[in-house]
Amino acid sequence: MTDCKKIADLIFPDVTKTPEYYEEKYPKRELPEGARVTRFAPSPTGYLHFGGLYAAFASKFTAASTNGVFLLRIEDTDKKREIEDGVSCIVSGLSAFGIEPDEGVTGFDSEKGEYGPYIQSKRRDIYRAFAKKLVEEGKAYPCFCTAEDLEKIRESQESEDIKGYYGKYARCRDLTDEEITEKINSGAPFTVRLRSEGDITRKITFDDLIKGKIEMSENVNDVVILKTDGIPTYHFAHVVDDHLMRTTHVVRGDEWIASVPLHIELFKALGFRPVKYAHIAPLMKEENGGKRKLSKRKDPEANVTYYIEKGYPKESVQEYILTILNSNFEDWRRANKTESVSKFPFNFKKMSVSGALFDLVKLNDVSKNVISLMNAEQVYGYVTAWAKEYDGELYSLLTSNPAKAKAILNIDRENPKPRKDIACWSEVRTYLSYFYNEIYSPDISFPENIQPENAVLILEKYKELYSENDTKDEWFAKIRELCTECGYTPNVKEYKANPGAFKGHVGDVTSVIRVAVTSRVNSPDLYYIMKILGKDEVGSRINTAIDCLIRGLPRH
C-alpha cells in the first residue's frame, strides 16, 4: 500500500505552505458580473512578435470591455532559451503601442498587483506546494528515468500512434515506496510526473471562443510537471498561475490547442475550475498568390521594433490591429469616425478562425488616415520624439524653429478633407525636405506636356506678379491672369471642351510653379508652401529653375 503522504514529504522537505494558504492569499476577485480576467503570458525568449502584440490586444480588449483585468505574466521556466533583455523588450514593446497591463510585470524587476509575483521564476514555492498536493493524492509521482532511458523509450515507440510516457512505457509509475525512498535517499535525480487518468478512447470537448466546439482525445501522457531541478514545466506552471491569478479567459496562439486535453486534465487533477479558451490562428501574409504565416525569420515586420523604428504612431498600430482583429471594425469606424478605439465592442466571434491577413499596404493606408486626423501640434510632438532617437538631423531642423515646423505640418490639416501623405514618421524627412535647404536637393524636371519655353514664360511672369502679402484669393486671381497671359486657360472645363485653343490649363501653370519651388509635381497647398519659404527663397528657386530651363533649351 503506497503511502503517498510519506513520499510527498520525502520529495518536498522544503515545502512549508499549503495550497489552502495560497487560495486564501489570492482570493477570488471582486469584479462585476461578466468581467473577464485575461493575461498575456509570453516567454522572454526573443523580441516581441507582431502576432504576440495582436494576441495581447485581444486579451486587453476583452478584459477592458467587460470591466475586467488584463495582466502581464512572464513565463520564464525555460532559462536556457531566455534572452538577456527579454522582459524589457516585452514590456516596452507593449507600452510603445499603448498596452499598459492593469496588473503584472511592469519592467525588469518591477510589478504591480495583489496576485503576484507575476514572473514564474519567483513562484517556485507556489508550484511546489501544488505539486506536493498532487503527490499526496497519488495524482503525481517521481520518475527516475534518465535521458538515455527516455531515448530508449522513444526508439521503441516508432510504431506507436501515441508517443510519450504512458501505459507500459511509464516505467516509474508503479514503483514501490521502498524503491522510491531508496532512490531519493541515494540522491538519484528525478522529475515529478502527472499520473494521467486519461483514456485514449475517450474524448473531451471544449468551446473555443474563436474556433467553436472542439473535440479531442483525452491526454494519456504522464507528463513532467516538475523538472529535475524542481522547476515546473510550462504546462503545470501556467495552470497553477491561471488559477491563482483568477484568470477566466486564456487567449493564446492556436499552437497550444494540442495541449488543451492535458491542460484540462491538470486543472481537474488540481481541483481547479478550468478557464475558457480563445485560440488565435497565426497572422498570415500573401505571397506569390498564396498565403503563409508571418514569419519571424523572413519578415522584418514580424518584429514590433520595426514599427517603432519606422515611427508608426501607436494610434495607427492600434487602429490597424483592430481592423484585422474584428471583421466588423471598419464598419464600426465608419459609423464612429472620431470615437476612441477603446469604445469598440470587441468580440472573439468576429475573429478569423483560419488566420487574419497581415498587410503592410493596408497598415500604411490606415496610418495615413490616422495621422491626417491629428493636429499639427500632435504631429510635431510625435515626429520630434521619433527623430530625436532615429534622425538627429531632422530633429535639429525641426526643433531649431518649432513655429516653422508646425506651420509646415499644419498645411492641409485640420480641415474636412485633410491630405493623407504620411504613414510613419520616417517619411517626414522626405515629405518636408524642400522646406530646408540643408536637406533639399533640387531636381527640376517639368511634366513632359509642358514646353520648356512655356515654362520659362510662366516663371518669368510669375516672378513679377508674386507678392508675399497676397491673400490666397488674391494670389489665385493672379494665377488666373497669368494663365490667360501665357496662352493657358484658368478653366479646366473650357480646356477639355476645346483643347486645341489653349496651350494647357491652370493645372499645368501651377504645376510649373510647383516643380520650380519644390521639385515635386505633387505637394500640399502651394500658396502656403510659398508663404513659409518666404519671398526671397521662392524668388531664388524660380531663378534657378529658369536657369536650368534656359540651359536645356535648344539653340536657335
The contact set with ligand GLU (CB under 6 A) reads 41-43, 75, 234, 238, 250, 252, 256
Candidates 505, 507, 532; CA nearest to 518 is: 532
Q: Quote the cell numbers at residue 290.
A: 498564396
Cα radius of gyration (the chain):
33
Measure the CA–CA gap between 91 and 101, rounded to whole angstroms.
9
For residue 259, the minimal CB distance to ligand GLU (Å) is 9
CA angle, corner 466, sides to 430 and 476, nearest 5? 80
**Contact 42/75 with Cβ under 8 angstroms?**
yes
For residue 350, the minimal CB distance to ligand GLU (Å) is 21
For residue 175, the minimal CB distance to ligand GLU (Å) is 32
For residue 229, the minimal CB distance to ligand GLU (Å) is 19
CB closer to ligand GLU, 278 vs 379 = 278
For residue 437, the minimal CB distance to ligand GLU (Å) is 51
How many residues does this entry show for the chain?
Answer: 556
CB closer to ligand GLU, 280 vs 548 = 280
For residue 197, the minimal CB distance to ligand GLU (Å) is 23
CB closer to ligand GLU, 91 vs 512 = 91
Helices 50-64 and 86-96 cross at an angle (nearest 10°) of: 60
**Contact 211/15 with Cβ under 8 angstroms?**
no
- Dump the DSSP string for 324-371: HH-TTHHHHHHHSTT--GGGS---GGGS-SS-PEE-HHHHHHHHHHHH
Measure the CA–CA gap between 44 and 211, rounded to whole angstroms.
28
CB closer to ligand GLU, 238 vs 243 = 238
CB closer to ligand GLU, 277 vs 344 = 277
CB closer to ligand GLU, 39 vs 128 = 39
For residue 548, the minimal CB distance to ligand GLU (Å) is 59
CB closer to ligand GLU, 41 vs 325 = 41
Residue 123, C-beta contacts closer than 8 angstroms, at least 6 positions apart: 117, 237, 240, 241
Query: CA torsion sign, 466 to 469 to 472 to 473?
Result: negative
> CA separation (Å) from 345 to 322, 327, 333, 471?
11, 12, 11, 47
CB closer to ligand GLU, 42 vs 313 = 42
CB closer to ligand GLU, 42 vs 104 = 42
Cβ count within 10 A of residue 518: 22
Candidates 204, 209, 270; CA nearest to 36 is: 209
The single-letter code of the amino acid at 174 is D
Candidates 67, 53, 51; CA nearest to 102 is: 67
**Contact 209/276 with Cβ under 8 angstroms?**
yes
**Contact 272/239 with Cβ under 8 angstroms?**
yes
CB closer to ligand GLU, 132 vs 211 = 211
Candidates 301, 317, 305, 252; CA nearest to 92 is: 305
3-state secondary structure of 224: strand
CB closer to ligand GLU, 48 vs 455 = 48
Measure the CA–CA gap between 253 and 257, rounded to whole angstroms.
8
CB closer to ligand GLU, 252 vs 541 = 252
Candidates 444, 443, 446; CA nearest to 508 is: 446
For residue 294, the minimal CB distance to ligand GLU (Å) is 16
For residue 238, the minimal CB distance to ligand GLU (Å) is 5
Q: What are the helix (H) ranges across 498-534?
A: 506-518, 526-533
For residue 83, the minimal CB distance to ligand GLU (Å) is 13
For residue 43, the minimal CB distance to ligand GLU (Å) is 4
For residue 25, the minimal CB distance to ligand GLU (Å) is 22
For 487: left if phi > 0, alpha if psi spans -120 to 50, otherwise beta; the answer is: left
